[in-house]
Chains A and B, each alone.
Chain A
Amino acid sequence: MSSWLDYTINGLIVGNVYALVAVGLALIFGVSRLINFAQGSIYLVGAYIGWVAVVQLHTPLPLTIIVVAVAAALVGLIIERFGLRPLQNSARIAPLLATIGISFVLDQIVMLTFSPNPRALPSQLPDVRFQVGNGTIGPLDLLIAGVGITSALLLFVFLRYSKLGWAVRATAQDRDAAMQMGVDVNRVNQAVFGIAAALGGVSGMLVGMYYNQIDTAMSLQATLKGVVAEVVGGAGNVPGAVVGSLLLGLVESYGVAVFGTSYRNLFAFLLLVLVLVLRPNGLFASARQAPPEPLTGTFIAPSRPVRIPRWALAVAVGGFAILPLFPVSFYVLQTLINAWLLGMLALSLTLVAGTIGQVSLGHAALLAIGAYTSALLSLSLSVPVGLAVIAGGLMSAALGTTLISPSFRLRGHYVSIATLAIGEIVSLVILNWEGVTRGPIGISGIPPLSLFGYDLISASSVYWFSLAVMIVLALLQGRLLTSHLGRSFRAIRDDDIAARAYGLSLNRYKSLAFIFGGFAAGVSGAIAAHLYSYINHETFNTQQSILALTVVILGGLGNVVGAVVGSVALVGLPEVFRIAAEYRILIYGIVLLLLVRFRPQGLLGTI
């Protein structure tokens, strides 16, 4: 029984760590209705500034904290001024994408400056430990708890009782009204970003000291856990973020206690999905909170889609179709094969995110389901590869739609968070369900693509095959968009209340969109599995989901041609910059930022 006390204490300690990130996220969400994916990167920056202060400048702890807080706040102010303020009047998805781009840039700058090797960040507190239960806690545990809870309390007091705090809350509730009442909205935003960044930076430093270890890969994990904690607590609710973090820590700890270590993150994301389904606004959302804004135009930038004449499309398709007949290198063909596979995924995402308005951050899960289905069918049951690929698509459609369906009643950003969680859950189930998926060992020796008994092995035959599949899927989707069904989809996206008033069953139409999209993504994953011959649970990861989202935004939401153009661009871009090696991701991030800034409706516009 005494072990339960230990599990509880451990859960609270790690919950403290999550709270440090979640509080900053909650503050920014409260004001800007923005999930700041760069918060983890500021945390990273804070950790490395802390390292410079401690290891090279030998600052004492109070001074270290001040240095880190000020420097991180400065980074936050720069992000707000140059990264996000220009996007104020653009589509709501633009700042979200911008924070993703900013996180790429920050992570890479830190990596280039400090090298990716992990570093030790020594704790500046005496190493005494107090016995609690059978374990111990130390001064740093207490400091982290202190910083987390104190900052939450201070913020609460600040928001409730100070003038600037009122301005922050007024801005959060209704930006335009606040502006009319004379609130300097930009100053409010600046203040919030500064505070959140200072908190984020200090938390990175403290967590670095806690583990005596910092490395450049720590930012994504911090963001993920922070987002989960924040949403569980109620997005935008600062004390809620603290409680959500502690709850997350406890659930993880008890999960380990009962089921073992490898299930740990599975429970974190299941908790998130459960909370979203039962209490979509989080556990501590106040009843008086303004209703979620209608989706009308939420994700859609005002633009007229670029019409590409049919003959031009036909010429382009023809050109790509005869490409392998010319002496191009296999490398070019392989790069384009990757683009066609990404294109199928982007078609799927542009349908659900663009046409029906359900932004998905977990689309890689659909790839994984298709890939595993097809690989296992062809390997274990000797199903012909052609049929197995189709089965992969069908399985993705069925399973993906079933998994995603509880989130159909969610709105706005919550849909993206739910899909992010479902993506992680699928990956963790693959890792743990060893009887079927072979767990961490992965599946090797997957047979190559074949059609009617002929193996498609050469780069050109795989190229033609994937191009053909993508074109068929694109034509079907183009047809779908011009049909009655497509118009119903767009009606739901533009105004779901009006659509419902017209008698459209939202869940049924959303299911239809996910079934169609799931099939395209599943086929893409299945082809990839046969192409790679080896897959494991990491082959299709969150980064792939984010890449797909970037593609469809680049191309223009809901735009079929745009999805393909975006895929070619974003598969090609990193290859073009390959020559710049270490600077590749940095350049990619900057390009993403510039696109979001200057062409938020995407290259070809939204349909």
Chain B
Amino acid sequence: MSNIDRRTLVKGSLATMMAGAAFSRTAFAQSSEPILLGVSGPLTGPNAQYGTQWKQGFDLALDEIHAAGGINGRKLAYNFEDSQSDPRQSVAIAQKFVSDSRIVMELGDFSSPASMAASPIYQRGGLVQFGFTNSHPDFTKGGDFMWSTSVSQADEQPLLAQYAVKRLGLKKLAVLHLNTDWGRTSRDYFVKAAKEYGAEVAITEGYIAEERDFRSTLVRVRDASPDGLILISYYSDGALIARQARQVGLKQTICAASSVYSPKFLELGGEAVEDVHLGTRYFPEDPRPEVKKFIAGFKAKYSGQEPDAFNAYAYDAMNMAAAVVRIGGTDRRAIRDAFTKVRDVSSVIFGAATFDVETRRVKGAMNAELVVRKGQFALWDGKPT
């Protein structure tokens, strides 16, 4: 709510409610108001931390965009509506955004159920739904107004499999995965790729997001006697599993999906995550200038706090949105078409990002092979642990 003052908001929503879309379109067309994006995401509820991280990334990107003169002289702003990542609420928010003519594009939602429930409304309403954390394979199949910079698991998991099997030489794997659409899809891509690289997947175990106790699961894993554990987890559950794996005496190499990449993973995992291997889409020590700029800006703005992957996704998404609006202007349909025209946008996750018009996703995510050494993420030097 920090980017728009309350009066503007009340005035805006009153106008839409009272007079409908037609009236407000004329009222706002020539104004010097900022160009407004809608954000549907969790600010409360179980996924609230991700909404907070989004805001940090968005605000940083907006600072930079405005410092560089905004969008052809106009400012860019967003209206963040709290959906709690709940489909009932994201659907209502979708109607709100679609009928609010000031909104030129929507970003979010966080989870697949919330995002995909809202997709038909955005599609019919002709408003781009730009999902940047939606790796569900069906998300961009919702229609030609669904676009995503989320790295498709079809791209990411083979890279992890390559790291584990080809580079680390693990031959017999145990896969622990979050039992959600994301975890399940990722697992399937990973297992397929790992087998193609010649490894055996001895056991796969799915756990639900609220789970805190993995000791019994890890006994099952131990009995399958793998030589490596693969974690398809978020940082908080990933850290829990690593800790408990060490506590129950499992000493195997651990490889984790990029989603654990967060300073929190180190903080929560402590000594147990030492020597954990992971691929990541971005890495602060990456010498690329766009990454350096992002890290420096983030630390300056948020009193030294280290950014993590979700900060980066949000930052990239806002920059991508700005690039698209620069081409498409404020017409919703033109913005949709601008996604097919935008080329080589500087981004943390993809380097120079361009959309694949067929899949409506971006291809070619950066991949750094990391390992945790002395409580820090470090580029892997190629030596086995």
Q: Which one of B42-50, B159-167, B274-282, B347-355 is at the interface?
A: B42-50
A120 adjacent to B267 (CB under 8 Å): yes
Per-position binary interface string of chain A over residues 131-146, scored 1 when its CB falls under 8 Å from any chain B CB and 0 otherwise: 0001110100000000
Chain A CB within 10 Å, residue with most, of B9, B92, B179, B264: B92
B95 adjacent to A459 (CB under 8 Å): yes
CA–CA, A257 and B10, complex, Å: 56
CA–CA, A437 and B239, complex, Å: 31
CA–CA, A448 and B169, complex, Å: 49
Interface class of chain A by DSSP: helix
| Chain A 403-460 residues near chain B, CB threshold 8 A | 431, 439-442, 444-445, 448, 457, 459
B9 adjacent to A579 (CB under 8 Å): yes
Q: Which residues of A contact B185 (CB under 8 A)?
A: 441
* Interface of B toward A, CB cutoff 8 Å: 1, 6, 9-10, 16-23, 43-46, 48-49, 52, 80-82, 87-89, 91-96, 98-100, 112-113, 116-117, 119-121, 124-125, 136, 138, 141-142, 176, 179-181, 183-185, 205-208, 210-217, 219-220, 222-223, 236, 239-240, 243, 247-249, 264, 267-270
CA–CA, A138 and B22, complex, Å: 67
CA–CA, A138 and B272, complex, Å: 15
| Chain A 73-132 residues near chain B, CB threshold 8 A | 108, 111, 115-120, 122, 129
CA–CA, A331 and B210, complex, Å: 32
CA–CA, A570 and B243, complex, Å: 42
CA–CA, A217 and B234, complex, Å: 15
CA–CA, A528 and B82, complex, Å: 20
Tell me if A303 counts as interface (CB < 8 A to partner B): no
A338 adjacent to B82 (CB under 8 Å): no
Beyond known contacts A10-B215, A431-B179: 8 more, CB 8 A cutoff = A3-B223, A6-B215, A116-B49, A327-B18, A327-B20, A329-B100, A331-B99, A457-B124
A118 adjacent to B91 (CB under 8 Å): no
Closest residue of B by beta carbon distance from A532: B117
Tell me if A578 counts as interface (CB < 8 A to partner B): yes
A581 adjacent to B87 (CB under 8 Å): no
Shortest distance between the CB of B72 and any CB in chain A (Å): 29
Tell me if A184 counts as interface (CB < 8 A to partner B): no
Shortest distance between the CB of B341 and any CB in chain A (Å): 29
B20 adjacent to A328 (CB under 8 Å): yes
A118 adjacent to B236 (CB under 8 Å): yes
Closest residue of B by beta carbon distance from A112: B44
Tell me if A539 counts as interface (CB < 8 A to partner B): yes
A3 adjacent to B219 (CB under 8 Å): yes
Q: Which one of A258-266, A294-302, A391-399, A513-521 is at the interface?
A: A258-266
Shortest distance between the CB of A49 and any CB in chain B (Å): 19
Q: Which residues of A contact B124 (CB under 8 A)?
A: 457
Q: Which residues of A contact B1 (CB under 8 A)?
A: 579, 581
B92 adjacent to A334 (CB under 8 Å): yes
> Which of A252, A262, A338 meets B206, CB within 8 Å?
A262
CA–CA, A327 and B21, complex, Å: 9
Shortest distance between the CB of B230 and any CB in chain A (Å): 14
A334 adjacent to B270 (CB under 8 Å): no
| Chain A 7-58 residues near chain B, CB threshold 8 A | 7, 10-11, 13-14, 17
B96 adjacent to A331 (CB under 8 Å): yes
> Which of B17, B179, B210, B214 meets A221, CB within 8 Å?
B210
> Which of A135, A213, A221, A252 meets B219, CB within 8 Å?
A135
Tell me if A538 counts as interface (CB < 8 A to partner B): yes
B6 adjacent to A579 (CB under 8 Å): yes
> Do A534 and B43 form a contact, CB below 8 Å, given A262-B207, A329-B16?
no
Q: Which residues of A contact B6 (CB under 8 A)?
A: 579
Tell me if A212 counts as interface (CB < 8 A to partner B): yes
> Which of B17, B95, B247, B270 meets A129, CB within 8 Å?
B247
| Chain A 209-231 residues near chain B, CB threshold 8 A | 211-213, 215-218, 220-221
Closest residue of A by beta carbon distance from B271: A127
CA–CA, A120 and B88, complex, Å: 33
Per-position binary interface string of chain A over residues 311-351, scored 1 when its CB falls under 8 Å from any chain B CB and 0 otherwise: 00000000000000001111111110010000000000000
A333 adjacent to B220 (CB under 8 Å): no
> Do A440 and B99 form a contact, CB below 8 Å, given A6-B248, A212-B268?
no
Closest residue of B by beta carbon distance from A528: B88
Tell me if A533 counts as interface (CB < 8 A to partner B): yes
CA–CA, A431 and B88, complex, Å: 20
Q: Which residues of A contact B267 (CB under 8 A)?
A: 119-120
B247 adjacent to A582 (CB under 8 Å): no
Number of residues of chain A lying within 8 A (CB) of chain B: 78
Q: Which residues of A contact B210 (CB under 8 A)?
A: 217, 220-221
Closest residue of B by beta carbon distance from A441: B181
Shortest distance between the CB of A109 and any CB in chain B (Å): 12
17 CB < 8 A contacts A-B: A7-B216, A115-B49, A118-B49, A119-B267, A135-B247, A212-B269, A217-B46, A257-B216, A260-B206, A261-B211, A261-B217, A327-B19, A338-B91, A532-B91, A533-B119, A534-B116, A584-B44
Q: Which residues of A contact B212 (CB under 8 A)?
A: 207, 211, 213, 218, 221
Chain B CB within 10 Å, residue with most, of A116, A260, A327, A332: A116
CA–CA, A170 and B48, complex, Å: 45
Q: Which residues of B contact A439 (CB under 8 A)?
A: 179, 184
| Chain A 189-220 residues near chain B, CB threshold 8 A | 207, 211-213, 215-218, 220
Q: Which residues of A contact B268 (CB under 8 A)?
A: 118, 120, 212-213
Q: Which residues of A contact B16 (CB under 8 A)?
A: 329, 331
Tell me if A176 counts as interface (CB < 8 A to partner B): no
Shortest distance between the CB of A367 and any CB in chain B (Å): 11
CA–CA, A215 and B184, complex, Å: 24
List 9 tightest A-B contacts by C-beta distance, closest first: A327-B20, A331-B96, A334-B95, A532-B117, A534-B116, A116-B48, A116-B49, A10-B215, A256-B216
> Which of B181, B183, B243 meets A442, CB within 8 Å?
B181
> Do A11 and B91 form a contact, CB below 8 Å, given A431-B208, A533-B119?
no
Q: Which residues of A contact B95 (CB under 8 A)?
A: 329-331, 333-335, 459
> Do A444 and B116 form a contact, CB below 8 Å, given A7-B216, A120-B268, A257-B216?
yes
B92 adjacent to A14 (CB under 8 Å): no
Q: Which residues of B contact A256 (CB under 8 A)?
A: 216-217, 220
CA–CA, A120 and B17, complex, Å: 46
Tell me if A531 counts as interface (CB < 8 A to partner B): yes
Q: Which residues of B contact A329 (CB under 8 A)?
A: 16-17, 20-21, 95-96, 99-100
Shortest distance between the CB of B187 and any CB in chain A (Å): 10
Q: Which residues of A contact B82 (CB under 8 A)?
A: 578, 581-582, 584
> Which of B91, B207, B214 meets A531, CB within 8 Å?
B91
> Which of A118, A129, A575, A582 meets B264, CB within 8 Å?
A118
CA–CA, A215 and B215, complex, Å: 20
CA–CA, A191 and B26, complex, Å: 65
CA–CA, A117 and B92, complex, Å: 27
A440 adjacent to B138 (CB under 8 Å): no
A262 adjacent to B43 (CB under 8 Å): no
Shortest distance between the CB of A536 and any CB in chain B (Å): 5
> Which of B88, B94, B184, B239 meets A440, CB within 8 Å?
B184
Closest residue of A by beta carbon distance from B222: A134
> Do A539 and B99 form a contact, CB below 8 Å, given A118-B264, A440-B181, A582-B82?
no
Q: Which residues of B contact A211 (CB under 8 A)?
A: 212, 240, 243
A260 adjacent to B112 (CB under 8 Å): no
Tell me if A235 counts as interface (CB < 8 A to partner B): no
Tell me if A253 counts as interface (CB < 8 A to partner B): yes
Tell me if A390 counts as interface (CB < 8 A to partner B): no
Q: Which residues of A contact B113 (CB under 8 A)?
A: 442, 532, 534-536, 538-539
Closest residue of B by beta carbon distance from A575: B92
CA–CA, A199 and B96, complex, Å: 46
B48 adjacent to A111 (CB under 8 Å): yes
| Chain A 360-386 residues near chain B, CB threshold 8 A | none
A261 adjacent to B239 (CB under 8 Å): no
Tell me if A243 counts as interface (CB < 8 A to partner B): no
Tell me if A585 counts as interface (CB < 8 A to partner B): yes
A265 adjacent to B213 (CB under 8 Å): no
